[in-house]
């Protein structure tokens, strides 16, 4: 049995801890996402896929695909998704009729320029070496390929910020602990500490080789979407 996640793990331990955590919570992960976001996560994923602005039939890699939510949304938009995740538990719980690969995002098992697009949903903060992962994304994207990266955010307005903090840091761990895994749903809100401030995050994307980078918030500031293009 994995030890409980009471604090954020040290960087060296992060991959092991995060993998074990997602293996544990996989069976109820989708249901809790719907409940805890009031189903807004569904529209956020759709926004991410539309923001790719790719033609139908594009080959899109869904990074940290989990149970395949974004893969299913990509299929709805007539793309050809492939999912990759390092959690075998998540892949076993996946409900997407697409190719799924167990792999490490920092050393993707795909050739250079293999994809027209890349999506990633709510996983940036879980990578141990985000800059390396983003560089791998650029490597496997063709010239003109697009990325759409979703993750959590924090509203800037005082009222929205207070409501969000109460929900995300108090209610989410409580409900998640009752329905699924207490340690995991303490980690998930706390893991926002791993996300750099927006200007630094965008710099990481640009430094990786992605151009025309843009950023916007969704869900009254509770989520953020980063898009960009590999121009060379």
Domains and CATH numbers, the chain: 11-156+184-229 (3.40.50.150)
How many whole angstroms separate alpha carbon 137 and alpha carbon 154?
Answer: 25
What does the pLDDT look like over 112-167, one tens digit per residue? 999 999 999 999 999 999 999 999 999 999 999 999 999 999 998 899 999 999 99
What are φ and ψ of residue 55, in 5° steps? -70, 155
Is the pLDDT at 1 greater than 90? The verdict is: no
Is the pLDDT at 70 greater than 50? The verdict is: yes
End-to-end CA distance of the chain: 46
Neighbours of 35 (CB within 10 A): 15
Is the pLDDT at 6 greater than 80? The verdict is: no
Q: What band does 11 get if pLDDT is binned at 50, 70 and 90? A: confident
* C-alpha to C-alpha distances, 224 to 39, 44, 147, 157, nearest whole angstrom: 16, 9, 13, 15
What does the pLDDT look like over 169-214, one tens digit per residue? 999 999 999 999 999 999 999 999 999 999 999 999 999 999 999 9
Q: List residues bridging with 82 in a β-sheet.
A: 61
Name the one residue in this structure whose structure tokens are 């990759």.
84
Instruction: Choose among 169, 141, 152, 101: nearest CA to 229.
Output: 141
Instruction: Choose among 117, 105, 116, 7: nearest CA to 63.
Output: 105
Q: What band does 10 get if pLDDT is binned at 50, 70 and 90? A: confident
Q: What band does 12 get if pLDDT is binned at 50, 70 and 90? A: confident
Three-state SS letters, 79-143:
CEEEEEECCHHHHHHCCCCCCEEECCHHHCCCCCCCEEEEEEECCHHHCCCHHHHHHHHHHHEEE
* C-alpha to C-alpha distances, 223 to 76, 80, 193, nearest whole angstrom: 22, 25, 15
Structure tokens at 24: 């544990």
What does the pLDDT look like over 18-63, one tens digit per residue? 999 999 999 999 999 999 999 999 999 999 999 999 999 999 999 9
What does the pLDDT look like over 72-100, one tens digit per residue? 999 999 999 999 999 999 999 998 999 99
How many whole angstroms separate alpha carbon 148 and alpha carbon 44?
Answer: 11
How many whole angstroms separate alpha carbon 165 and alpha carbon 173?
Answer: 12
How many whole angstroms separate alpha carbon 82 and alpha carbon 118?
Answer: 10
CA contacts within 13 A on the Cβ side of 180: 25
Is the pLDDT at 2 greater than 50? The verdict is: no
């Amino acid at each position: 049995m994995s030890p409980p996640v009471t604090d954020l793990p040290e960087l060296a331990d992060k991959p092991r801890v995060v993998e074990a955590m997602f293996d544990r919570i996989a069976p109820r992960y989708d249901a809790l996402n719907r409940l805890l976001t009031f189903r807004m996560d569904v529209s956020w994923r759709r926004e991410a896929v539309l923001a790719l602005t790719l033609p139908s039939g594009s080959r899109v890699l869904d990074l940290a695909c989990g149970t395949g939510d974004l893969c299913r949304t990509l299929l709805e938009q007539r793309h050809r998704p492939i999912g990759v995740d390092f959690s075998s538990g998540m892949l076993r719980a996946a409900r997407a009729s697409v190719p799924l690969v167990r792999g490490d995002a920092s050393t993707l098992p795909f050739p250079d320029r293999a994809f027209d697009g890349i999506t990633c949903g709510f996983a940036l903060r879980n990578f141990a070496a985000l800059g390396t992962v983003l560089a791998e994304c650029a490597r496997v994207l063709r010239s003109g390929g697009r990325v759409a990266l979703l993750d959590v955010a924090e509203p800037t307005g005082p009222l929205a910020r207070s409501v969000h903090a109460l929900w995300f840091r108090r209610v989410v761990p409580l409900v998640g602990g009752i329905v699924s895994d207490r340690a995991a749903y303490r980690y998930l809100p706390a893991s926002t500490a791993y996300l750099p401030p927006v200007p630094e995050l965008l710099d990481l994307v640009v430094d990786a080789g992605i151009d025309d980078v843009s950023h916007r918030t969704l869900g009254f500031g509770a989520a953020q979407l980063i898009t960009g293009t590999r121009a060379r």
